[in-house]
Chain A
Amino acid sequence: MSASVLFDDLGPRGRRNVRIGSGVGGLFVLGLIVLGLQRMAANGQLEADRWAIVFDPRTGVPQSLGRALIVTLQAAGAAMLFATLLGAILAFGRLSDHAALRVPVSVVVEFFRAIPLVILILFLFLGARPVLGLDLPRFWTLVLGLVLYNMAVLCEIIRAGILSIDRGQSEAAYALGMRKSQVLVSILLPQAVRRMLPALVSQLVVLLKDTSLGFIIAYPELLQQARNIINFFGSQYSLQLYVAAAGIYIIVNFLLSTIAHQLEKRVNRSGRIAAGATVIAGANEDQTLAAVARDNG
């Protein structure tokens, strides 16, 4: 507790106050839960058969939610792959010494960061054929929208990561006679990846959540599927199915974050960053935090 900015280790009176406060606070939280449950019970939302539909294989609901999960993960996986690759390429472009490359890339990145993803997806859905002359299936409409938006965001995260590396690193590499591309790929990038991993993963979680926008173009991801099921079985199951769809998203995102956290720990253990790096890493954290905050959702 002494690590907190706000309070020291407590004395006997403080501990007593905290115990009393915890009691009151606990009752408050309990009250909220009871109120919610009461509300649900009063409307018959807690009856077993209302929820059984989500779990009973005979209704076909778990199976179709499972299929929707796979379809969601497919779109998310494809978008993650392309967005990360393109984001890295754009980041290199933005870091280029040549204005002829840097300026157009910056314009592209700033443009895609400034417009809502919904608008992008709607444009691809309604405009692909008349404007671009493309016949995009729903899957690629969604994936392309996600890629265009997230490559711009990931570009900024990767750029911030590369810029956060101590200048001495690239100076030493140049002094050894390495070329610009060698410095970037074999010196800066490996160190940058380690630092930007948390921001990178939170953006990938955002991407996964954003696949839910597929419902706007009727791509059968989890929420769209939940809606289809409700249309079939009736609106008395609305709450249950939307909560179930949200729950699946929460579990998958939670798993992704946990895996990333483990990965982060392993990466940090295997490679010790040079002394003094922690100070810079601290500053960088604010930067990437800001980048993530801007583009979340």
Chain B
Amino acid sequence: MQALLDNLDRLWAGFLTTLAMSVAAAVIATILGTILAAFRVSPLPPLRALGATYVQLVRNTPLTAVFFIVIFGLPAVDVTFQNFFIAAIVALSVYTAAFVCEVVRSGINSVSTGQAEAARAIGLTFGQSLRDVVLPQAFRSVVPPLGNLWIALVKNSAIAGGGFAVADIAQLAPSLARDNPAQVLAIFGGIALAYMVITVPSGIAVGVIERRTAILR
């Protein structure tokens, strides 16, 4: 316990790093994933193929491999990032975007065809019917799975600290445990708790939003 209390400032800094990394990746992944979903449902075959290929490739690649490619592979083609923190955000965004894409796409498919038919019948264009009719309804039905993706993203961000020298919560675990072998249980308990401070309230919030936004069809 003492080891944790002595290092509360590091734990707090790590907590903020994890949070910042996750929020940044969540924002980028949501935008990128939504664009990819739009590609996947568009009438243009090349864009559909692009979206489908991206999702198939990234979803079947371990996040760890994405990290390795972004951090050690991309510099070989002169794509470098200022530091591991930014590289981690890139890796997490690229990975999570594929899942966001699938969630948004299944959300779009869950909107009843009558809605879109009505939108077309009153003369809205493809872009308008997507933006004003289909997507607002789709987003409502994707709120719970998107919330769950956020929780998964927070947990996934631990790879950045566990393996790639980003000073987040996870990185504290090995260094504190090596310095204080007698307090390993307390240290890991505290670190697990720090993650649960984010994931458990998020899970509850997802449940609340789910009930609030639920619509009867």
Which residues does A use to contact B, with CB under 8 Å? 1, 4-8, 10, 18, 21-22, 25-26, 28-29, 32, 39-40, 42-43, 45, 114-119, 121-123, 126-127, 130-131, 205, 209-213, 215-216, 223, 226-227, 230, 235-236, 238-239, 242-243, 245-246, 249-250, 253-254, 257, 286, 289-291, 293-297
The answer on a CB contact under 8 Å between A293 and B145 is yes
Docked pose: A257 CA to B129 CA in angstroms: 34
Q: Knowing A22-B45, A254-B60, A297-B152 touch, does A5 contact B77 (C-beta < 8 A)?
A: no
Chain B nearest CB: distance from A161 CB in Å? 17
The answer on a CB contact under 8 Å between B199 and A238 is no
Docked pose: A6 CA to B195 CA in angstroms: 40
The answer on a CB contact under 8 Å between A8 and B120 is yes
Chain B nearest CB: distance from A220 CB in Å? 14
* Selected contact of B148 from candidates A40, A243, A257, A290, CB within 8 Å: A290
10 contacts between A and B (CB under 8 A): A5-B111, A5-B116, A6-B41, A25-B47, A45-B77, A116-B162, A117-B155, A126-B184, A127-B177, A297-B99
The answer on a CB contact under 8 Å between B69 and A243 is yes
The answer on a CB contact under 8 Å between B76 and A43 is yes
Chain B residue numbers with a CB within 8 Å of A205 are 60
Which of B150-181 touch A at CB < 8 Å? Answer: 151-152, 154-159, 161-163, 170, 173-174, 177-178, 181
The answer on a CB contact under 8 Å between B64 and A223 is yes
Q: Knowing A40-B77, A242-B68 touch, does A297 contact B63 (C-beta < 8 A)?
A: yes
The answer on a CB contact under 8 Å between A245 and B65 is yes
Asked whether any CB of chain A lies closer than 8 Å to the CB of B36, the reply is no
The answer on a CB contact under 8 Å between B185 and A127 is yes
The answer on a CB contact under 8 Å between A6 and B134 is yes
Chain B residue numbers with a CB within 8 Å of A5 are 41, 108-109, 111-113, 115-116, 134
Chain A contact residues: helix, strand, loop or mixed: helix
Chain B nearest CB: distance from A149 CB in Å? 9
Total cross-chain contacts (CB, 8 A): 215
Chain A residue numbers with a CB within 8 Å of B44 are 18, 21-22, 25
The answer on a CB contact under 8 Å between A249 and B155 is no
* Selected contact of B195 from candidates A29, A116, A210, A293, CB within 8 Å: A116
B-side interface residues, number (CB < 8 Å)? 79
Docked pose: A236 CA to B72 CA in angstroms: 10
Q: Knowing A6-B126, A39-B78, A223-B62 touch, does A242 contact B69 (C-beta < 8 A)?
A: yes
Chain A minimum-CB-distance residue to B149: A293
Asked whether any CB of chain A lies closer than 8 Å to the CB of B136, the reply is no
The answer on a CB contact under 8 Å between A210 and B72 is no
Chain B nearest CB: distance from A203 CB in Å? 12
Chain A residue numbers with a CB within 8 Å of B77 are 39-40, 42-43, 45, 239
Chain A nearest CB: distance from B17 CB in Å? 14
